[in-house]
Structure 1
């Protein structure tokens, strides 16, 4: 009988099996020649022994660093560095023990390639983790740590140049723009460094401007925000130029961006421009106490934060209402602290016509002065406003200097004080009342009643 020829699938399965067998044989040979030898085994033994000792000595090393950190002569940067080293105490102790082992092996001229590799990786981890504490953002600190340690690991095993060559050979071409993967990686790294440097520069400028007493908080925030945006644009332009991208190729993209702004990003751009308008004219600035009527009712609170999209207002309920900048531009806003913080409050008070009006006015002023938040200069005043239907209408006026702490609560405290003083001194607070008079109609006589019935028939 003739033997049937194998199918295409069977040939592919045989090729895959043969390739897997070859890789397995190669791996076994490599392990036998490089790992399962005495020179490699004693290195692994010392690496494992160092790990065991590092785990055992970690607690003692951390306690030593804690005692060192309790010294009052150390600066904040040194304390932060000590806390970081304490957090990675085990790798630090491990790399120190392996370093001592390497010195011993080198003294006897013994080959230790695996030991050097492990020490190199651990040392890179310790250094990168220590440097990353100076990056304020936790997210970017993690990105830097993993990226730098990956590059260090590839360099330690001799694969960094191979990976770089592969990235240079891999690229993407879109019209006149041609970017390789290596150029993209360099651009990302350069952009991240420039943005971090720009944020650092803007932070330094912001701290310096805070020392200038004559500059308002809104103008200070506007300068810092414009500086940060300019540095961000400069960082992107420099990064694109560094990777060889012709900026004139983005002319079409800018036109598409303009159409997108006109169609879908109109509100975003309006809020962006409104934020700079609010900061430039200083109509609203951080720390102001504002009141605005929104679609969900009135909002009263203190401005805590101003961003390019919204203004965060912390209300008396402890919540923060995010009001879009365009709403603040288009709606009437009551700024209680626009020019100065002192604010006058008015409380209507009604007393009976039989009361001593001068005594009632004096009691109202005394009740206001007993509240700590009420200012003595200008002093409270109580005026007679009108002769009401059932009372004489008075009005107490007083000033406070901290509207951010609420205005309704201080008015309530003053009214409670007035009520207590009126009760103690016999001043009556009238309430509306009406007199109802019932009139009795006499019943008709019998003659008139008979005439009425006759007319009905």
Structure 2
């Protein structure tokens, strides 16, 4: 490592001398007046923020704004002091330019106005980065770079950072290259995220494309754009990836053995999207899990049940296991109900009333036949099965079964049809004696 080599020490000495000269020049009388102008602009900006902030809050409360617009209003409110400072500082520069003899007094005012303007622009563009930790790092890094650049210290700082490096054979990795790679890669990833977000919204609102093809197109686009962003960001700063080919191959071989399940789930996800066996909105049953598919991920499928639980089912389980897709080829679902009536009731009448009761319930299709058949003669009842059709399994099956059972109860009660319960008949054989034994509590009370 070339840390604090003679060239690095020489560069640091020159940088420190430049910083000393810059701060000594700040003690000149004309510079002190410029400091006073800058302080005055800051005070006016602070007062302007105090005056305008409540008005912005009242304006936002009086309007029905979307979440995205509310965030921009909050961002604007937080940047009010900086916006007012930029306005007052550049106005002061224009005044100094117009007044004869004061043109030389504008250097620090221009520098302060330029720095605050650059800081504000960096803060606005940093909002494109969704991750708060990464956004904070990029923001502070960009603010430091902007400050060093406009103060004239960046060239010497860059030479110092470039001299701090690790060399392995023909491979050289400097601190400056790492910083450039991080900044450029983050910027490219943010641009890729914006493109994928806009394209995803358009694809999902396009009714001409099936949901499975939509998800496949989205996943393919994300892999290509994010992969290209990382590759371009690394190559643009001069990293030679060919030198890392052997190392990456060894790492890939090791990860291949350790991440077999992950790779299997990724491949299974691609297969699901290609064969269109499962798509968002489908109602499926997998073991004890019954619900509709909320989203298709690269590793798992999100299934939401009627009770609000969200199951993350690995893609491999959907490929290798038995899955019931209630809405795969069409939305029609047949529901079966079993019930029994008394032997004294006319089975022809029971079947007719049961079909009418089923068709009277909500969500039961009237344009598809409902049937009722006798399935057997039980110990206490004649057993029937009632079959009818619905077209919205996503709304649940238990509730529609309950509605039909309730309609059967009302219809049977109205027509005098009884639903029997198990009964037992006790016969006394000749010569048997029935003995009734009182409980201990009752016997004690009688005493």
> Same fold per TM (> 0.5)?
yes
Matching of residue 422 in structure 1 with residue 388 in structure 2: no
Matching of residue 170 in structure 1 with residue 160 in structure 2: no
CA contact (8 A) 1:81 1:130 kept: no
In structure 2, relative to structure 1, the CA distance for the partners of 1:416 and 1:276 (3 Å cut) is same
RMSD: 3.4
Q: Hey, what does 2:324 align to over in structure 1?
A: 334
Distance in 1 (CA, whole Å) between partners of 2:357 and 2:306 is 24
SS of the residue 2:286 aligns to: strand
State which drifts further: 245-254 or 154-163.
245-254
Distance in 2 (CA, whole Å) between partners of 1:307 and 1:205 is 17
Structure whose CA Rg is larger:
1
CA contact (8 A) 1:344 1:399 kept: yes
Tell me which of the two structures has the higher relative contact order, counting C-alpha pairs closer than 8 angstroms and 6 or more residues apart.
2
2:181 is aligned, of 187, 201, 205, to: 187
SS of the residue 2:261 aligns to: helix
State which drifts further: 212-221 or 104-113.
104-113
CA contact (8 A) 1:309 1:324 kept: yes
CA contact (8 A) 1:284 1:335 kept: yes
CA contact (8 A) 2:334 2:389 kept: yes
User: TM-score, length-normalised on structure 1?
Assistant: 0.79
Q: Hey, what does 1:287 align to over in structure 2?
A: 281
Distance in 1 (CA, whole Å) between partners of 2:78 and 2:330 is 49
Q: Shift of residue 421 of structure 1? A: 2.4
Q: Hey, what does 1:91 align to over in structure 2?
A: 82
Q: Hey, what does 1:376 align to over in structure 2?
A: 366
Question: What pairs with 1:42-441 in structure 2 (closer than 5 Å)?
Answer: 42-62=33-53, 84-106=75-97, 107=99, 108-109=102-103, 111-134=105-128, 141-210=135-204, 212-293=206-287, 298-441=288-431
In structure 2, relative to structure 1, the CA distance for the partners of 1:47 and 1:358 (3 Å cut) is farther
CA contact (8 A) 1:84 1:133 kept: no
Distance in 2 (CA, whole Å) between partners of 1:340 and 1:87 is 53
Q: Hey, what does 1:14 align to over in structure 2?
A: none
Distance in 1 (CA, whole Å) between partners of 2:370 and 2:364 is 8
CA contact (8 A) 2:302 2:310 kept: yes
In structure 2, relative to structure 1, the CA distance for the partners of 1:30 and 1:211 (3 Å cut) is closer
SS of the residue 2:335 aligns to: strand
Deviations 1:126-179 (A, max 9, x none): 222333445566565545433332221111222222221112222222344222
Q: Tell me, which stretches of 5 or more residues in structure 2 are unaligned?
A: 1-15, 434-447
Distance in 2 (CA, whole Å) between partners of 1:124 and 1:409 is 60
**Count of matched residue positions in the alignment of Structure 1 and Structure 2:** 412
CA contact (8 A) 1:261 1:269 kept: no
Q: Shift of residue 317 of structure 1? A: 1.5
Q: Tell me, which stretches of 5 or more residues in structure 1 are unaligned?
A: 1-22, 444-457
Q: Hey, what does 2:444 align to over in structure 1?
A: none
